[in-house]
Amino acid sequence: QQPVQSPQAVILREGEDAVINCSSSKALYSVHWYRQKHGEAPVFLMILLKGGEQKGHEKISASFNEKKQQSSLYLTASQLSYSGTYFCGTEIQAGTALIFGKGTTLSVSS
Amino acid sequence: NAGVTQTPKFQVLKTGQSMTLQCAQDMNHNSMYWYRQDPGMGLRLIYYSASEGTTDKGEVPNGYNVSRLNKREFSLRLESAAPSQTSVYFCASRRGGSGHNEQFFGPGTRLTVL
């Protein structure tokens, strides 16, 4: 079952902050975050594992609430380059396939 | 390292025609995946192969078949294309197993079925 992302779209000015949420009805092993620019392939941003380990991007942070099966991606001091569609992918067990949400479109203007 | 490569990049088919989308990775990954992307629907899993020699259905497998030819290659076949299969198809690979292992995507194949 697809995880649910919110909001569907965000419009920001450069320097503003945004939070994108991802929730699942199933217990998760990990949450992945990807960004996709128009006409390109998704690119990896972050992994958050059950138990608190993280690996990812220098300027983007995220959290994973295991009790609620929710993850949030924090984009602070946004730059024009942050524009794109953000997807969360959820993994219910180590080694199983990622199931992605419908995405959140972020537009940053100057 | 080329990463994940896909061929062709673009394809136009008529309803009822068949075709195979090719995918290869040079990262020695165990797991490979096929997704389709439609406006407003996100990335939906069609089929995946957790390891060489195994394949499993994903969220939207109807109308597709796959072959894990070897560790490097994973193909997707449309036996009788339908307009509903017009989409962008992405192949992806991961090391597999537990821990930090991100998924790498190919550049995509843009398929139109008339």
pLDDT tens readout for residues B2-48? 899 999 999 999 999 999 999 999 999 999 999 999 998 999 999 99
Residue B73 CA, distance from chain mean position: 10
Asked if A95 lies within 8 A of B59 by C-beta distance, the reply is no
pLDDT of residue A32: 95
Looking at every residue in chain A, the average pLDDT score rounds to 92
* B-chain residues near A102 (CB < 8 A): 40-42
Calpha distance A41→A27 (Å, rounded): 28
Tokens representing residue B39 in the block: 């406006």
Give the pLDDT of residue B108. 98
Cβ <8 Å between A100 and B35: yes
State the nearest Cα–Cα gap between B90 and chain A, in angstroms. 8
Strands B74-78 and B64-68: antiparallel
